[in-house]
Amino acid sequence: MINPFLIEITRGRLIESRHRGSVAIVDADGAPILALGDIERWIYPRSAVKAIQALPLVESGIADRYGLSDEEIALTCASHSGEERHAATAASILAKAGQDASCLECGAHWPTGEAANRALAAQDGQPSALHNNCSGKHSGFVCLSCGLDENPRGYVTAQHPVQQTVRRALEDLTGAPHTEAVRGTDGCSIPTYAIPLSALALGFARFGTGVGLPGERQIAARRIRRAVARYPFMVAGTDRFDTKLMQVLRERAFVKSGAEGVYCAALPELGCGIALKIDDGTPRASAAVMATLILHLLPLSDWERTEVEALAWPLLKNWNGLEVGRVQPDPDFFRSVTTQHGS
Amino acid sequence: MINPFLIEITRGRLIESRHRGSVAIVDADGAPILALGDIERWIYPRSAVKAIQALPLVESGIADRYGLSDEEIALTCASHSGEERHAATAASILAKAGQDASCLECGAHWPTGEAANRALAAQDGQPSALHNNCSGKHSGFVCLSCGLDENPRGYVTAQHPVQQTVRRALEDLTGAPHTEAVRGTDGCSIPTYAIPLSALALGFARFGTGVGLPGERQIAARRIRRAVARYPFMVAGTDRFDTKLMQVLRERAFVKSGAEGVYCAALPELGCGIALKIDDGTPRASAAVMATLILHLLPLSDWERTEVEALAWPLLKNWNGLEVGRVQPDPDFFRSVTTQHGS
């Protein structure tokens, strides 16, 4: 199956580039609401499942035992820009478990946020693992390990009790087997397991509604969603799409991007989960698809609509601030969404 | 026509993302050597045609009148990383025409090279138009304007004598009309005209061989190719694909990337030009396709082959330096190239 065009990039009067992909929207029983393209294809969810990976930390009571704040819980679900507040919050999570950055096994990289990157360079600083965009998730893993009375060393490996626990949570929510045969290694060195796109959407429908989850897990999922809605800066950062969308929609939409054009969302009031993947892995397209979907699924006030439209279909400006093109939905995709028929 | 897969990105045992596109290779008479996908589709060449845009400056004798060096001529063809030597060379071009950076109409942006970006931040500096990746081309336009006794002000507009002269050179080499109907605005504010991919390949076959060009233009094209081959750092920068490929192949391959997944090349010894466009606009794919083509078209020494293979099919490593995947040619594309049959 050839996936349909979802997003087009215009310049002048022409379409300059185009992105194909697939979209699955399902309810918490797995019933399809919208299906575009090959929704049974196995994809790596990458960072899009960080909130599900954070469930064991919260549902086990370990987050409470260490007194993690909502800001800190939000950071455990983050692909953050490495801004000062992100790095400081990761350090604070580790400190609460009696640990420090030397435990982190995610590797160091310069902040992905441009201003944060230059600020660190201007201070003559060097990036540490705390600046890694996954440092919050990893700090959460270290807490989970300590709370389970396991030595954190090697917590990134598939065999470590932390990754085993996280894998079971992912299997429970998505219903998809997470086996060695479909295991890849993520940018931060933890395993990432490929699953069908439809299963990923189901995982987020359950995460957003609690339907079919044990009581403690329902409570944990709600707590994580609320923490992120209160502190959307924590999950991404300044001028980032995830942050801006949740600053507008708060608890109405939990959204999380993953590398290589993956995007997931839970829309609790509609009882559905969304998972999408751009074939070519480009984030500009996955973000535009997600915002387009949300625009047509959620009833919005005029202000909310204006804000989300600016995120969905950004103007492309050049270095002199001149408008040169647009990111916009493919007309057939737009029609599929507005009529809510799959193709 | 649906363009074929050209490049796949693997992770673990699976293909994570894929890129479609089209490839045109033609000789200097326009006869096809390889055609993959829709080679008659009109695309914006963007920065890939900077060397052709530099022809009027050289063939008119204006470059010599101002005493431009080979390094400076190479920079007029550049999409550079904004490193100190790039910015200084752009300033030097302008000074030779009695001008300075205040003439540049490309806009300012932080260096695209990560190290250059941080070095400027660490010096507490602010980026100027000299750091714009197109500052060499724009400095050349300012020289051309002065040499033609035209006021440089407004040299980026389609109506200015500089852009009219440049447009005629593009039309002559590619044989394609450059009309207002297919005009877009580039990132640096000059016009970019869409043309068929096959015409773009023809332009580079002529640029690389001189076939069909007037004498002065043949000499200018050779001078530009040699200048770039002598100073490949100037056209891109540290660790950049264009620079690394030409550091290996020197005058045997003139290559130039353009935004949105465009790549062009001239291979003088084979008498052909190459133009390719990735549908989704991703540079990792356009670079891998170009290197794959060159690997199979040019006879290479063992050392050259090893170097080009590393550029063509890079290993993907994560923040801990672990191999997580590869960028590699789609098997059908690879077969098309190695058997040199179009599809």
Interface residue A321 vs chain B (CB under 8 A)? yes
* pLDDT score at A124: 86
Answer whether A18 touches B (CB < 8 Å).
yes
> What are the b/e assignments for B46-83, b being 16+ CB within 10 Å?
bbbbbbbbbbbbbbbebbeebebbbbbbbbbbbbbbbb
**B280 close to A (CB below 8 A):** yes
Between CA A134 and CA A50 the distance in angstroms is 9
Contacts of A41 in chain B (CB under 8 A): none
Q: What is the mean pLDDT of residues A181-204?
A: 97
Instruction: Output the pLDDT for position A342.
Output: 41
- Residue range B136-174, pLDDT digits in tens: 999 999 999 999 999 999 999 999 999 999 999 999 999
Instruction: Please say if the pLDDT value at position A116 is more than 70.
Output: yes
Selecting from A16, A107, A279 the residue whose C-beta is nearest the C-beta of B260 gives: A16
State the Cα–Cα distance between residues B205 and A307, nearest whole angstrom: 48
**What whole-number percentage of chain B has pLDDT above 70?**
99
Mean pLDDT, range A229-258, rounded to an integer: 98
**pLDDT category of residue B124 using cuts at 50, 70 and 90:** confident
How many of the other CB atoms lie within 10 Å of CB of B303? 9
- The residue with tokens 């397991």 is A193
Mean residue pLDDT of chain A comes to 97
DSSP string, A3-68: PPEEEEEEETTEEEEEEEEEEEEEETT--EEEEES-TTSEE--GGGGHHHHTHHHHHTSHHHHTT-
> In angstroms, rounded to a whole number, what is the distance separating the alpha carbons of residues A130 and A114?
16
In b/e form, how buried is each residue of A237-275, taking b as 16+ CB within 10 angstroms? beebbbbbbbebbeebbbbbbbbbbbbbbbbbebbbbbb
β-bridge pairing B183-185 and B191-193: antiparallel
Rounded percentage of chain B residues whose pLDDT exceeds 90:
98
CA distances to A15, B202, B215 from A329, rounded to whole Å, are 12, 33, 49
Taking the CB of residue A12, how many other CB atoms lie within 10 A of it? 18
Instruction: Kindly indicate the confidence band of residue A115, based on its pLDDT and cuts at 50, 70 and 90.
Output: very high
Cα–Cα distance between B177 and B196 in angstroms, integer? Answer: 10
Which residue is it, tokens 């944990």? Answer: A220
| CATH code: domain of residue B11 | 3.40.710
Find the residue in B nearest to A194 (Cα).
B14
- Contacts of range A313-318, beta carbons closer than 8 Å, 24 or more positions apart: A313/A288, A314/A288, A316/A9, A316/A11, A318/B107, A318/B185, A318/B186, A318/B187, A318/B188, A318/B189
| B340 pLDDT higher than 80 | no
Which pLDDT tens digit goes with each residue over B220-273? Answer: 999 999 999 999 999 999 999 999 999 999 999 999 999 999 999 999 999 999
CB contact under 8 A, A324 and B121: no
Token code pair at residue B55: 């022809």
Determine, for residues A184 and B11 on separate chains, whether the beta-carbon distance falls below 8 Å: yes
Mutate to test the interface with B, among A8, A16, A284 (most CBs of B within 10 A): A16
Say if the Cβ atoms of B118 and A118 lie within 8 Å: yes
Q: Are A198 and A174 in contact (CB under 8 A)?
A: no
Q: In whole angstroms, give the CA distance from residue A328 to residue A323.
A: 14
- Contact list, B157 vs chain A (CB under 8 Å): none
Q: Which residue of B has its CA nearest to A132?
A: B319
pLDDT at position B339: 84
Q: Do A110 and B132 touch (CB under 8 A)?
A: no
Tokens of B196: 């068929």
Average pLDDT over residues B279-286: 98
Q: Give the best residue of B8, B14, B192, B317 to mutate against chain A (max A CB count within 10 A).
A: B14
Spell out which residues of chain A touch residue B37, defining contact as CB-CB under 8 Å. Answer: none
Q: Is the pLDDT of residue B65 over 80?
A: yes
- Mean pLDDT, chain B, rounded, equals 97
Is B305 at the interface with chain A, CB within 8 A?
A: no
Mean pLDDT along residues A270-298 = 98
Those residues whose C-beta lies under 8 Å from the C-beta of residue A321, and which sit 6 or more positions away, are B107
Calculate how close chain A gets to B305, using CA atoms only, in Å: 28
Domain count, chain A: 1
Host domain of residue B173: 5-341
Read off the pLDDT of residues A54-73 as tens digits, 9 standing for 90 and up: 999 999 999 999 999 999 99
Q: Which helix (H) or strand (E) holds A226?
A: helix A215-230
At residue A340, the pLDDT reads 64
Chain A CB within 8 Å of residue B181 CB: yes
Q: What is the pLDDT of residue B294?
A: 97
Encoding tokens for residue A52?
């599900």
B3 lies within 8 A of chain A by CB: no
Chain A positions touching B16 (Cβ under 8 A) are: 43-44, 184, 260, 281
**Residue of A6, A13, A14, A41 to mutate for B, most B C-beta atoms under 10 A:** A14
* Interface touch A118/B117, C-beta < 8 Å: yes
Chain B residues whose beta carbon lies within 8 Å of the beta carbon of residue A122: 121-122, 124
B1 touches chain A (CB under 8 A): no
Return the residue of A nearest to B12 by Cα: A184
Number of neighbours of residue B234 by Cβ within 10 angstroms: 25
Instruction: Read off the pLDDT of residues B250-265 as tens digits, 9 standing for 90 and up.
Output: 999 999 999 999 999 9
Provide, as residue numbers in chain B, all residues whose Cβ is less than 8 Å from the Cβ of A11.
44, 184-185, 192
Q: Which of A208-222, A232-246, B326-340 has the lowest mean pLDDT?
A: B326-340
B67 touches chain A (CB under 8 A): no
Long-range contacts of B156-162 (CB under 8 A, 24+ apart): B156/B105, B156/B106, B156/B188, B156/B189, B156/B190, B157/B191, B158/B183, B158/B191
> Of A44, A320, A326, which to mutate for an interface test with B (greatest number of B Cβ within 10 Å)?
A320
Among A262, A286, A318, A323, most B C-beta atoms within 10 A, so best to mutate, is A318
Residue B62 scores a pLDDT above 50: yes
Provide CB contacts within 8 A for A277, sequence distance 6+: A21, A22, A41, A43, A197, A260, A261, A262, A263, A286
Predicted confidence at residue A343, as pLDDT, reads 37
3-state helix, strand, coil in chain A (%, to 5): 50, 20, 35
**Which pairs with CB-CB distance under 8 Å and at least 24 residues apart come from B68-72?**
B68/B93, B68/B96, B68/B143, B70/B226, B70/B227, B70/B230, B70/B231, B71/B227, B71/B230, B71/B231, B71/B234, B72/B96, B72/B136
Q: Complex ipTM, two decimals? A: 0.96
Q: If you average pLDDT over residues B31-48, what whole number do you get?
A: 97
Rounded Cα gap, residues A331 and A15, in angstroms = 12
Instruction: Indicate the residue of B182, B282, B324 with minimum beta-carbon distance to A184.
Output: B324
Using N-to-C axis directions, what is the helix angle for B302-312 and B241-249, rounded to 10°?
A: 170
